[in-house]
Amino acid sequence: MSIEARKIRLVMHLRKSGITDTRVLSAIERVPREAFLPEHFLHRAYEDSALPIGHGQTISQPLVVAKMTQELELGPTHRVLEVGTGSGYQAAVLSCLVARIWTIERHKPLLKVAKERFQALAIDNITARAGDGSLGWPGQDNFDRMILTAAAGEDPPPELLKQLALGGIMMAPLTITDENGVRGQKLVKLRKTRNGLEREEMWPVKFVPLVPGEAQAEEVPSL
């Protein structure tokens, strides 16, 4: 099966799975997921599965990418902060839908490769840097939207909430304890209002943890 056929099959699967925003579906179709994977995983680019990219990190499952993107309620003038660049795939999808994206990655080698991918694909509305994602982007604030691709504990970091604009939306995997005392991750949609945060727990997910601290410069291990 050709790459185009696999891509069409994936988009149809996303549609059947509840992705109704045609702009999101179009972005998934436009962004070549194979460009964000190690070479030996290219044949799996359009499977609906997460895949390893090194450093214990993964490129997210396409359905999760599409759901998080849809729930952000994106507009063409929005300014978006992403915490956890990873392969760069999520940022590339967002780049089709908004004015500008700022993205932070803790692992410098992963960031270097992601920036090379953005350049190769002529994506010019993404600004990327290495740093501690829990601190947000010092010098920038009033982000319309935020997306965390790493689990931030029971609550999002306070510095990120400070940088979220009034009326802004954050999508974040958080640790939730259910009525039986069982802890697990759920994707949570947070909306910043004048009266505080509106919080909506959505669906179970499994993300790597958000680790505060200095950006890491170790070599990317082979997979």
Mean confidence (pLDDT) of the chain: 92
**What DSSP assignment string belongs to 141-193?**
--EEEEEESSB-TTS--HHHHHHEEEEEEEEEEEEEE-TTS-EEEEEEEEEEE
Whole-number Å distance between alpha carbons of 46 and 33: 7
Q: Report pLDDT digits (tens) over 10-67.
A: 999 999 999 999 999 999 999 999 999 998 899 999 999 999 998 888 999 999 999 9
Instruction: Count Cα neighbours of 178 within 13 Å in the Cβ-side half-sphere.
Output: 8
Report the DSSP pairing between strands 57-59 and 51-54.
antiparallel
**Residue 65 CA: distances (Å) to CA of 3, 19, 39, 46, 130:** 19, 10, 21, 13, 22
Q: Which helix (H) or strand (E) holds 30?
A: helix 22-30
Whole-number Å distance between alpha carbons of 144 and 86: 21
Whole-number Å distance between alpha carbons of 180 and 35: 43
In percent, the amount of the chain with pLDDT more than 70 equals: 95
Q: Is 17 a catalytic residue?
A: no
pLDDT greater than 60 at residue 216:
no
Strand extents, DSSP E, the chain? 51-54, 57-59, 79-83, 100-105, 126-130, 143-148, 164-177, 183-193, 196-204
pLDDT greater than 70 at residue 215:
no
Measured from the Cβ of residue 20, the count of other Cβ atoms closer than 10 Å reads 9
CATH number of 3-204, picked from 3.30.565.10, 3.30.390.30, 3.20.20.370, 3.40.50.150: 3.40.50.150
Size of the chain in residues: 223
In the structure, what pLDDT confidence band is assigned to residue 213 with cuts at 50, 70 and 90? low
In the structure, what pLDDT confidence band is assigned to residue 219 with cuts at 50, 70 and 90? very low
In percent, the amount of the chain with pLDDT more than 90 equals: 78
- Domain boundaries in the chain? 3-204
From edge to edge, which strands make up the β-sheet containing 143-148? 126-130, 100-105, 79-83, 143-148, 164-177, 183-193, 196-204
Choosing from 2, 26, 60, 222, the catalytic residue is 60
In the structure, what pLDDT confidence band is assigned to residue 183 with cuts at 50, 70 and 90? confident
Residue 88, exposed/middle/buried by CB under 10 A (0-12, 13-18, 19+)?
A: buried
Per-residue pLDDT at 174:
95
Look at 42-51, 107-116, 214-223 and tell me which has the smallest mean pLDDT: 214-223
Three-state secondary-structure class, residue 101? strand
Measured from the Cβ of residue 179, the count of other Cβ atoms closer than 10 Å reads 5
pLDDT greater than 90 at residue 181:
no
